[in-house]
Chain A
Amino acid sequence: MLTAADLERGALKPTWCPGCGNFGMYRALKEAIEELGLAAEELVMVWGIGCHGNGADFYNVQGFHGLHGRALPLATGIALTRPDLTVIVEMGDGDGYGIGGNHFLHSVRRNIDLTAIFHNNQIYGLTTGQASPTSDQFMRTPSTPGGVIEEPVNPVGVAVAQGATFVARGFAGDIPHLKELYKRAIQHKGFSLVDVYQPCVTWNKVNTFSWFRERIYKVEDLPDYDPRDRTKAFHLSMSTFHELTCAPDECRIPIGVFLEDPDSFTYQDGLPQLDRPMFKHAERPRDITQALEPYRV
């Protein structure tokens, strides 16, 4: 079993900016993996490109640091051929909701059994502060000097509407809460989305830790909230839009598990041939005598 200490490479220390929200996510995930009792050999992590992706160097796990926006299909290829592995994907908001938006949409509807964690800092960090798909409307950045014109992507709402079977939002400033979200997401059978508000202390001077602390509340504190109710989850997801100017009492941001369908039909459930890792099919040439029959003359 892995311990949180095992999960640090040691050779390399995180290079994130001091105070970066990624540190909280890093700690919460290490602790979640330790508490779930996962073995090193059964866990695979996949990263996209962005500040979050530099974590590939810091986690002492087997994994793949892929391309900008493409971590989900890369992870899908692993998950669909290695049923013996637990797959955790980390992506950023520009990475996963922007360039990778198409893969996000289809991964959700596929219900591949894997966990997707999105580092949502509402800005492009690694490329120095341009607006991201989750940047607030009217936010001014070097790529939007007049302010963002579009509405931000609502990842929780999109996922709920698109039939996701586990949708949660976390906050990097609340590590114990985030850790519990991670554990439930990893244990969930099916596609799990954990969108994590992870303030960028260098480029996003608006959506800061204190900004969030003044506005967030926990879904589980709502009376009678049932995460199996998709309509309620969608309704709750629509309360997440916020604008730069909104005062704490005007805009409240829920975190927690919005939706959880414990009995979902996963993509892997539709593949009875996945009774063993697919690499075992290539131990020797496959007998194709039967497959040749229709072509024999």
Chain B
Amino acid sequence: MPATPAELRVRIGGEAGFGIKAAGQMLARTFAHEGLEVFDLTEYPSLIRGGHNTYLLRASTEPVYSHVEPVDVLACLNRETLDRHHAEVVDGGAVIFDPDDFDAATVPQRLRSVPVPLTAMAREAGGKIMRNTVALGAVLGVVGFPLDPLGDSLRQQFARKAPEVAESNIAAARAGYDAARAACPDFFVQLSPAPGAPPRLLVDGNEAIGLGALAAGIGFYAAYPMTPASSLLHFMAAHEKSAGVVVKHTEDEIAAMNMVVGAAFGGTRAMCATSGGGFALMVEAFGMAGVSESAVVVGVFTRPGPATGMPTWTEQSDLRYVIHAAQGEFPRVVLAPGDREDAFRLTWQAFNLADQLQTPVVILGDSYLSDNRQTVPFFDLDEVTVERGKLIAEGDVADHPEALGPDGVYLRYKVTEDGVSWRALPGVRGARQLANSYEHDERGFGALGEEAAVRLAQNEKRMRKLELARAIVPPPARFGSPPEEADIGIVLFGTTKGPAREAARMLAREGVRVAILQVVTLWPFPAEEVAAFMDAARRTAVVEGNLTGQLESLVREHALREPDARLHRYDGRPFSPEQIARFVKEVL
């Protein structure tokens, strides 16, 4: 079924090293600059050269929340792209290819052949390397989108190089454009610029998280590179000098997490991020952050495991692991952004929650969030606040009697009603606090922390923070129809949000009403809201990207509800809206 005329879905494929992603992102920027909404999906194996890479782009006049399954245009930079992906092209869709790569007769009859001599045209324009630019021009030609905006993007892209580099690329794009236009002047998608769109941002999840951390006043970021968190390390390092942040690529994740706890002890807003395997190394110090009541933010951006798993693919299978990580019991907050807008907002909020609760806060993302870009409304910077909680940063601790014991001594771990004690930073006069990884008394003394009464008081004090957390953490978000009017209520977390919203939109056109509850804060689990939502909906389902139903297990355990149906995906690929829509129709 062809897409609506106001929307284009295109996949570009080729061998790793062909510049597939760079070309695709150029196209995304071009469309976004011209007022369209875009969403992209980069798929690549864990290789630097060789292997099959693809870039999927959606551009629309309407907001787009995810990628989709079918495409209108398939741009093949090699034969493998046709073989692997022709089935997902809609009937009548266009296949752009180089007739030198394969015979036009091998393109299935139901599709439109758009032969463009990519290599010859690239050579003509100045070099074979520009094959991907020829293909970009051809994509624009097929859908009749003006070529000039791409020219502007190319000039910007190559601004630091000699002017002839940009001009050669523009010539390459024009050649591809003209060839495609001639071959396919009446394609069913004809895309136009949408002037007058408000200023927006085109960001991936890690950029959004990095921007959220910068806005929050982060002063220290430490990490060991691990897909898909590495680009956040690069982002933070790029802003190190201009924003005034100390960024450390450490010897391992163990060091990263310990350094972050040390920085937090000094009062600095500090964060580290990794994937599941790196978090495994951080878990020991994660527990130390819990018992020492350190305000730290940890990004865990998951991919399929166990162990090295599938490094460049996505999964939501680390939910239980993150919720339970480290020995013993201590309070934590786990937030799961569903898209890039969430990622920005939840990140600055994570720093506030860490300070207010003096306990670790996890941002649980995944590759689908980290790696892929989306146009989002310009971030609301006025909304950003800094809440540092019970913090004494400077001066004399004697001016804060609430932080002192009966004998006038500062008590770092003073037992309080809400579980949070006053935190005096090193340098505050009179506050000789001892932070401790051992159980400890109110002063921080480990030798006295083993007394039964002290253990009870401290353990219970820490756990009381969860009650405070319930009052201040972000509540679940609702999308689609109100649950009481819906045919089905779907409970989900994280990036399943986007495909589910798209599915709801598709199904609404067919008269099926879907309500969505996105569990934004996974821990403490919002049991009451989930139960109320599930009670209101006629039928219910849990949709999640793992094999064992980890979110469903939390729903059963905490909300005491059983969904009518469930959909799991765990092949390394994100849900597509079509898959969720098919599932809903099956279970209704």
Partner of B288, one of A15, A67, A283: A67
Interface magnitude class on chain B: 35 or more
For A274, the chain B residues whose CB sits under 8 A away are: 246
Known: A56-B446, A67-B285, A296-B199. A76 touches B262 (CB 8 A): yes
A80-98 interface mask toward B, CB cutoff 8 Å, 1 = contact, 0 = none? Answer: 1110110000000000000
Whether A41 pairs with B268 at a CB distance below 8 angstroms is no
Contact A67 B219 (CB under 8 A): no
CB distance from B145 to the nearest CB of A (A): 15
B586 part of interface (Cβ distance < 8 Å): no
Question: Does B79 have its Cβ within 8 Å of any Cβ on chain A?
Answer: no
A279 contacts B393, CB within 8 Å?
yes
A297 on interface, CB distance cutoff 8 Å:
yes
Per-residue CB contact flags for chain B residues 367-390 toward chain A (1 = under 8 Å, else 0) read 000000001001101001110100
**Interface residues of A, CB < 8 Å — how many?**
60
Tell me if B's interface is mostly helix, strand, loop or mixed. Answer: mixed
* Complex CA–CA separation, A274 to B251 (angstroms): 21
Verify B386–A81 contact, CB threshold 8 A.
no
Stretch of B39-47, B430-438, B491-499, B573-581 contacting A (4+ beta carbons < 8 Å)? B430-438
Residues of A close to B222: CB separation below 8 A: 77
CB interface residues, B 266-280, toward A, < 8 Å: 266-270
Name the contact of A77 in the complex, choosing from B32, B218, B259, B427 (C-beta under 8 A).
B259
- Chain A, 264-297, CB within 8 A of any chain B CB: 271-274, 277-279, 281-292, 295-297
B20-39 vs A, CB cutoff 8 Å, 1 = contact: the mask equals 00000000010011000000
Q: Which residues of A contact B203 (CB under 8 A)?
A: 295
Contact A80/B258 with A281-B218, A297-B33 known, Cβ cut-off 8 Å: no
Query: Complex: how many Å from CA A75 to CA B426?
Result: 13
- What is the bound-complex CA distance between A85 and B261, given in angstroms? 16
B252 within 8 A of partner (CB): yes
Check B258–A286 contact: CB distance below 8 A: no
Closest B residue, CB atoms, query A82: B266
Beta-carbon contact of A78 and B202 below 8 Å: no
Interchain CA distance A67-B283 in the complex, whole Å: 12
Residue of B nearest to A77 (CB): B262
A231 at the interface (CB under 8 A from B): no
Given contacts A15-B447, A56-B434, A62-B434, contact A285 B266 (CB under 8 A): no
What's the Cα separation between A132 and B279 when bound, in Å?
28
For B340, give the chain A residue with the smallest CB separation.
Answer: A295
Task: List residues 488-532 of chain B with CB under 8 A from any CB of chain A.
Answer: none
Residue B220, interface by CB 8 Å: yes
Question: B561 an interface residue at 8 Å Cβ cutoff?
Answer: no
Contact across chains for A77 and B263 when beta carbons are under 8 A apart: yes
Instruction: State which residues 121-144 of A face B: CB under 8 Å.
Output: none
* CB <8 Å contact, A281 and B426: no
Contact A272 B241 (CB under 8 A): yes
* Beta-carbon contact of B259 and A74 below 8 Å: yes
By a CB distance below 8 angstroms, the chain B residues around A79 are: 262
Docked pose: A296 CA to B254 CA in angstroms:
36
Which one, B240, B252, B269, B432, contacts A282 given CB within 8 A? B269
Report whether B284 and A40 are in contact in the complex, using a CB–CB cutoff of 8 Å. Answer: no
A223 to B222, CA, bound (A): 46
Q: Are A65 and B284 in contact (CB under 8 A)?
A: no
Q: Say yes or no: B266 contacts A102, CB within 8 Å.
A: no
Q: Which of B199, B217, B259 contacts A76 (CB 8 A)?
A: B259
What CA separation (Å) do A285 and B239 show in the bound complex? 16
Tell me whether A286 and B216 are in contact (CB under 8 A): yes
- Give the contact stretch, choosing among B2-10, B50-58, B125-133, B207-215: B207-215
Complex contact B426–A288 (CB within 8 A): no
> Which A residues contact B (CB, under 8 angstroms)?
9, 11-12, 15, 40-42, 44, 46, 49, 54, 56-57, 60-67, 70, 73-82, 84-85, 102-103, 105-106, 271-274, 277-279, 281-292, 295-297
Listed from nearest, the 9 A-B pairs whose CB atoms lie closest are A77-B262, A278-B219, A282-B217, A279-B267, A77-B259, A73-B258, A297-B32, A73-B255, A278-B268
